[in-house]
Amino acid sequence: MELDLDRLIRVILEIMAEEERPTDEEAARIFGRVFSDCGKEEEDQ
């Protein structure tokens, strides 16, 4: 599975901007969302 790191970082920053200083649990959810979204893109291609 190959990730576009620039896009990955941009998505993480966008999601983090939506949150206010995430707790560990929230951070885990955020990264879960990011990698879930990346996985969906892989399937679409």
pLDDT digits (tens, 9 = 90+) for 1-45: 577 888 888 888 888 787 677 688 888 888 888 777 766 655 655
Burial-class residue 30 by CB neighbours within 10 Å (0-12, 13-18, 19+).
Answer: middle
Give Cα separations from 3 to 18, 20, 23, 33 (angstroms).
Answer: 22, 26, 26, 14
Q: What's the pLDDT score for residue 44?
A: 55
Domain that holds residue 30: 5-44
Number of folded domains that form the chain: 1
Structure tokens at 11: 């998505």
Q: What's the pLDDT score for residue 25?
A: 86
Q: What's the pLDDT score for residue 35?
A: 78
